[in-house]
């Protein structure tokens, strides 16, 4: 593994309720304009929650043929659309097929297909349901003949996918990688399950105000669907072809809490160690970091653990923090990749988006939480956090390209 092989982010693609292009997503974050709304894709009136972040009017036409649509789960359709946009944004994949790779992340795979087919599976039930279907369709669409991998680490899946994509380039296993996450987990079963686990936000008169990370009045997260992908390539090659470079991916940390199946360590020990690993990998001191893109789900356990971890690494209120899930909702396996895109845009634009719905910061969270309006950032490294059920942690460091 060689850090001499530097990694550039040259393409971005998204499908989310807050925006189906990076530009639309960025605009929603800066305003800020939360995407949570009443569920329309099925009747949720009998459920304890009827709010989610759905992608309105999603249509894969122009990206998938009717035959491909019939052969893919909604989650994979999101993935192929977002990945294709990222490839186009990068100006194509500038490597021979065997030097191209893909890494996808998903927590559920084709859960819509799975639920619809229980007891009455059709011929394509297994290939539509399998977690690696997204990776397959991206390889065939974009001529990727190198490594094709799928990671399933719950809410850290997308973050891990991006980080492992970087490692493939560092290891010399690929010259360009399409990496990201996808999820379409909005089903009655999942909503009821998350509600019974006490994790979903309920009881808000206005759906747009339901996701409130780090706010004293938070009540949980809002479930979201979507996909996000980046194109990563060797910095030297990107420069040589005159590619637009959003950011350099300089650091990656991954570890495990080894504490509890669904609860983070109360002091954020694993999260703290993961951020420190990412900073060390990037050869960056904590005081150099200009912004933290928080995991920030809006559950009490996660918010407190992450806030304590951030304070332990950077100091109380020492670095601007944003929690994008107040706008995007929690896209589970796609979340970390979505936030990697947001972090890359923060680096490219020099701005920290505000955290929506912050009425009163929880006094136990000693954070400089950006709110109200975007904040101008000095040029410097940004860290993006993903912390998941199972104690899986992934942290990415993105920075402006230096000589």
Tens digits of residue pLDDT in 99-111: 999 999 999 999 9
**Is residue 330 among the annotated active site residues?**
yes
Cα angle 329-26-377, degrees, rounded to a multiple of 5: 110
Q: Look up residue 123 and give its DSSP letter.
A: T
pLDDT per position as a tens digit, 56-102:
999 999 999 999 999 999 999 999 999 999 999 999 999 999 999 99
Contact 277, 233 (CB under 8 A): no
Give the domain 7-240 fold: Peroxisomal Thiolase; Chain A, domain 1 (3.40.47)
Q: Which helix or strand (DSSP H or E) is residue 89 part of?
A: helix 74-89
In this prediction, residue 194 carries a pLDDT of: 95
- For 252-399, CATH gives 3.40.47.10
Dihedral class, residue 163 (left if φ above 0, else alpha if ψ from -120 to 50, else beta): alpha
Number of C-beta neighbours around residue 269 at 10 A = 18
Tell me the domain boundaries of the chain. Answer: 7-240, 252-399
Q: Is 383 helix (H, G, I), strand (E, B) or coil?
A: strand
Band the pLDDT of 42: cuts 50, 70, 90: very high
The separation between the first and the last C-alpha atoms of the chain, rounded to the nearest angstrom, is 21
Is the pLDDT at 40 greater than 90? The verdict is yes
Dihedral class, residue 84 (left if φ above 0, else alpha if ψ from -120 to 50, else beta): alpha
Q: Which helix or strand (DSSP H or E) is residue 232 part of?
A: strand 226-234
pLDDT per position as a tens digit, 161-181:
999 999 999 999 999 999 999
Q: Is 193 helix (H, G, I), strand (E, B) or coil?
A: helix
Of these residues, 160, 265, 295, 392, which one is catalytic?
Answer: 295
- Neighbour-count burial of 258, counting CB atoms closer than 10 A to its CB (0-12 exposed, 13-18 middle, 19+ buried): exposed
In this prediction, residue 203 carries a pLDDT of: 87
Of these residues, 330, 365, 392, 395, which one is catalytic?
Answer: 330
Is the pLDDT at 15 greater than 90? The verdict is yes
The rounded distance, in Å, linking the Cα atoms of 175 and 235 is 10
Q: Which of 395, 325, 339 is nearest to 160 (CA)?
A: 395
Band the pLDDT of 3: cuts 50, 70, 90: confident
**Is residue 295 among the annotated active site residues?**
yes
Q: Which of 142, 182, 148, 140 is nearest to 165 (CA)?
A: 148
The rounded distance, in Å, linking the Cα atoms of 169 and 63 is 27
pTM of the predicted structure, to 2 decimals:
0.98
Residue 51: beta bridge partners?
38
The rounded distance, in Å, linking the Cα atoms of 146 and 158 is 20
Is the pLDDT at 51 greater than 70? The verdict is yes
Is the pLDDT at 47 greater than 80? The verdict is yes
Of these residues, 53, 81, 155, 365, which one is catalytic?
Answer: 155
In this prediction, residue 1 carries a pLDDT of: 63
The rounded distance, in Å, linking the Cα atoms of 350 and 135 is 32
């Amino acid at each position: 593994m060689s850090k001499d092989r530097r990694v550039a982010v040259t393409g971005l693609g998204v499908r989310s309720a807050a925006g189906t292009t990076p530009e639309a997503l960025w605009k929603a974050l800066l305003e800020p304009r939360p995407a949570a709304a009443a569920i329309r894709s099925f009747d949720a009136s009998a459920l304890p929650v009827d709010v989610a972040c759905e992608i309105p009017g999603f249509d894969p036409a122009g990206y998938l043929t009717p035959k491909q649509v019939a052969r893919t789960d909604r989650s994979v359709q999101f993935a192929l659309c977002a990945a294709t946009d990222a490839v186009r944004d990068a100006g194509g994949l500038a490597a021979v097929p065997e030097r191209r790779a893909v890494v996808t992340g998903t927590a559920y795979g084709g859960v819509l297909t799975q639920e619809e087919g229980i007891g009455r599976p059709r011929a394509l039930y297994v290939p539509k349901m399998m977690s690696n279907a997204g990776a397959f369709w991206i390889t065939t669409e974009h001529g990727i003949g190198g490594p094709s991998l799928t990671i399933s680490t719950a809410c850290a899946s997308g973050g891990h996918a991006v980080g492992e994509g970087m490692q493939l380039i560092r290891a010399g296993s690929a010259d360009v990688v399409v990496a990201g996450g996808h999820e379409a987990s909005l089903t009655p079963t999942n909503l009821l399950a998350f509600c019974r686990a006490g994790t979903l936000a309920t009881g808000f008169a206005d759906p747009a105000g339901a996701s409130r990370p780090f706010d004293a009045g938070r009540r949980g997260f809002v479930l979201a669907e979507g996909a996000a992908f980046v194109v990563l390539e060797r910095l030297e090659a990107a420069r040589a072809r005159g590619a637009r470079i959003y950011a350099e991916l300089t650091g990656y940390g991954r570890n495990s809490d080894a504490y509890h199946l669904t609860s983070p360590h109360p002091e954020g020990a694993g999260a703290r160690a993961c951020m420190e690993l990412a900073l060390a990998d990037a050869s960056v001191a904590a005081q150099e970091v200009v912004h933290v893109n928080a995991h920030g789900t809006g559950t009490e356990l996660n918010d407190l653990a992450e806030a304590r971890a951030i304070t332990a690494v950077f100091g109380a209120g020492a670095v601007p923090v944003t929690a994008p899930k107040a706008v995007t909702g929690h896209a589970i396996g796609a979340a970390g990749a979505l936030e990697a895109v947001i972090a890359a845009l923060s680096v490219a634009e020099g701005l920290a988006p505000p955290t929506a719905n912050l009425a009163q910061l929880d006094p136990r969270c000693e954070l400089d939480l950006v709110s109200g309006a975007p904040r101008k950032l000095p040029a410097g490294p940004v860290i993006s956090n993903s912390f998941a059920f199972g104690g899986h942690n992934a942290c990415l460091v993105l920075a402006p390209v230096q000589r």
